[in-house]
Structure 1
């Protein structure tokens, strides 16, 4: 599981809600969570901002421990 997904679930946010807040296609968001698609800098920053993430951007998309 990615840190992004863990944080999203911790916040009680659905994929659809995060996708809407980050202005990202929900299918792409799902693929990013599963590590099948890169977040790219702009899209990754929008996702991080929507989650309130203030750490290193790359860490958000790594596997959670």
Structure 2
């Protein structure tokens, strides 16, 4: 799973809500979260800003272990 999914869920945001906040098409957001489409620098920065992410935006699109999700629930 991509870190962006984890961070989105931590903040209680739906995929469509994050897409709206980041001014990204929802289907594009889905493809980014599943790794089927790269976030591209400008779009990645908008997603990071919408999440309030203070680190390098590229970190949001790295894989994290699935068991990390258990901490969120």
Q: Which runs of 5+ in 1 are unaligned?
A: none
Counterpart in the other structure of 1:18: 18
In the alignment of these two chains, the number of paired residues is 65
Equivalent-residue separation in structure 1 for 2:48 and 2:27 (angstroms): 17
Counterpart in the other structure of 1:28: 28
Equivalent-residue separation in structure 2 for 1:48 and 1:58 (angstroms): 9
C-alpha deviation, 1:57, in angstroms: 1.4
Computing the radius of gyration from Cα coordinates, the structure with the larger value is: 2
Q: CA RMSD in A?
A: 0.6
